[in-house]
Amino acid sequence: TYPLFPHPVYLKFILTSIPGNLNTLVNHILKATHMIEPVILPDQKDVDRFLPPYKYPLPLNPEKPVAMGDFGPPIIYTEAKWAQEVHLRSVKPVILEIWKEFGKIFQRHYLPVEKYHSDGARVILLTMGSFSETASVAIDKMRAEGQNVGLVKLRLWRPFPFEEIRQALKDAEVLVVLDRALSFGGPGGPVCSEIKAALYNEPKKPKIVSFVGGLGGRDIKVSGFEDMINKGVEISR
């Protein structure tokens, strides 16, 4: 089963738990028009128990007009952007604490970086999002055939989990990174570029192979993941 429901549920809790007056917009998109998966929905009582009462902080009221999306002139723009950066980096402990509370109630536990048969694996596939479900099937199949391969799932994108990524990949010989987005004219997909930056100063780092797939919601079959992983296996020989 693919956990469709948790992300908007715990995102809402995270946003309401971030300290300070921070206006935040999260765009959560689920592309399920041509996907069939069994879905386990949580009990509504558990959802109500988990989510705090919510009151919109800036309701539209003609009697109390507010300005939204104001332009920041040069004299304050840099400071405003730096404040955003500092605030975003401080959010990680909040996310971890809420994931912990979420796990207690729903018995679904999440980490910034999640490993699947990756300890001791020579070749590791790194994915994000729904790629990981099908990728894990490919990993199981290849390991049953005697191949020393594993999977690392990147769940937290921002703030980027640098240390967790370094620990998860420290023993890999070859890393295969699969992106669902192009970075036109760049060195690879966005995830691959971040991974390369995170590992750049490490004394020991894997060879990295970048793939881009699934654009526009196109499916990647188990055999497709096997082909990508096998490319890493060839490089490791």
Closest CA to 41 of 12, 13, 1: 1
Task: Give the helix ranges, DSSP H, for 19-144.
Answer: 44-50, 74-89, 92-106, 131-144
Note the pLDDT of residue 2: 43
Could you list the residue range(s) of the whole structural domain that residue 44 is in? 6-106
- Give the distance, in angstroms, between the CA of residue 115 and the centroid of all CA atoms in the same chain: 13
Cα distances (Å, whole numbers) of residue 231 to 136, 187, 194 = 17, 18, 21
**Whether residues 58 and 151 fall in one domain:** no
Cα distances (Å, whole numbers) of residue 198 to 70, 111, 124, 167 = 34, 18, 16, 11
**Whether residues 58 and 136 fall in one domain:** no
**Whether residues 167 and 221 fall in one domain:** yes
Of 51, 84, 106, the residue that ends a domain is: 106
Confidence of residue 24 (pLDDT cuts 50, 70, 90): very low
- The answer on pLDDT for 64 being more than 70 is yes
pTM for the model: 0.82
Of 106, 137, 172, the residue that ends a domain is: 106
**Is position 1 within any domain?**
no
**Whole-number Å distance between alpha carbons of 154 and 127:** 6
Of 91, 106, 121, the residue that ends a domain is: 106
**Whole-number Å distance between alpha carbons of 200 and 177:** 15
Note the pLDDT of residue 95: 96
pLDDT digits (tens, 9 = 90+) for 75-107: 999 999 999 999 999 999 999 999 999 999 999
User: Which pair of structure tokens corresponds to residue 163?
Assistant: 């240390």
**Whether residues 162 and 223 fall in one domain:** yes
pLDDT digits (tens, 9 = 90+) for 138-178: 999 999 999 999 999 999 999 999 999 999 999 999 999 99
Closest CA to 131 of 110, 165, 154: 154
Regarding beta strands 123-127 and 174-179, do their DSSP bridges make them parallel or antiparallel, or are they unpaired? Answer: parallel
What angle separates helix 131-144 from helix 222-236, to the nearest 10 degrees?
60
Q: Into how many domains does the chain fold?
A: 2
**Whole-number Å distance between alpha carbons of 47 and 101:** 12
**Whole-number Å distance between alpha carbons of 18 and 90:** 9
CB-based contact 202:179 (threshold 8 Å): no
Least confident of 50-59, 159-168, 226-235: 50-59
Least confident of 15-29, 77-91, 192-206, 208-222: 15-29
Helices and strands (H, E) in the chain, number of each type: 8, 5
Q: What is the CATH number of the domain that holds 165?
A: 3.40.50.920
